[in-house]
A = this chain, B = another copy of it.
Amino acid sequence: MTKRKRTTTSDAVQILYRRYYEGRPERVRGLEEARANDGVARKLVMLRLQAGLTQRELAKLVGTTASAICRLEDAEYEGHSLAMLNRIASALKQRVEIRFVPVPHGKALKSA
C-alpha cells in the first residue's frame, strides 16, 4: 500500500468518478439504482470504481488483464460468463446473485 502516488492523479479513480458523475446529479442518483437495474457492464464499472481500483489493479486481483476487464465493462458486450462474473465479484468481496423474475405480460424487457 503506502499510497505511492503523491499528487499525481492521486486517485486516478476519482478522476474517472468525476468525469462520469461530477455535476451530473441524475447520474449520481442513478448510481444507486444502477446496482439493480442497469446492465452488467455498468454494474461492473460501479463496483470497481467504488472499490477504488483501476482496470489493471482489478485485473491483477481477478487474475486477468486490463483488456479483459475493459471488454467486460463495455456496455455493448453481451458475452459474459458466470465464471468470470463470479471471479470478479469474489475479488471485490461481493457475491453474484442470479434471479429469474417473471415478466408481467408480453413486456419483453432487456436482458438485465
List chain A positions with a Cβ less than 8 A from chain B.
35-36, 40, 43, 47, 78-83, 85-86, 89-90, 92-103, 108-109, 111-112
Contacts and interface: CB of A to CB of B under 8 A. Distances in A.
B108 A100 contact: no
Question: Do most interface residues of chain A lie in helix, strand or loop, or is the interface mixed?
Answer: mixed
A96 to B, nearest CB: 5
Contacts of A47: 100
A109 B111 CA distance: 25
A10 B100 CA distance: 27
Q: Lowest 3 A-B CB distances belong to which pairs?
A: A86-B111, A94-B100, A80-B82
Given A82-B82, A96-B99, A96-B112, 15 more contacts: A35-B99, A36-B97, A79-B81, A85-B98, A86-B111, A90-B108, A94-B100, A94-B101, A94-B102, A94-B103, A95-B109, A96-B100, A96-B111, A97-B99, A98-B112
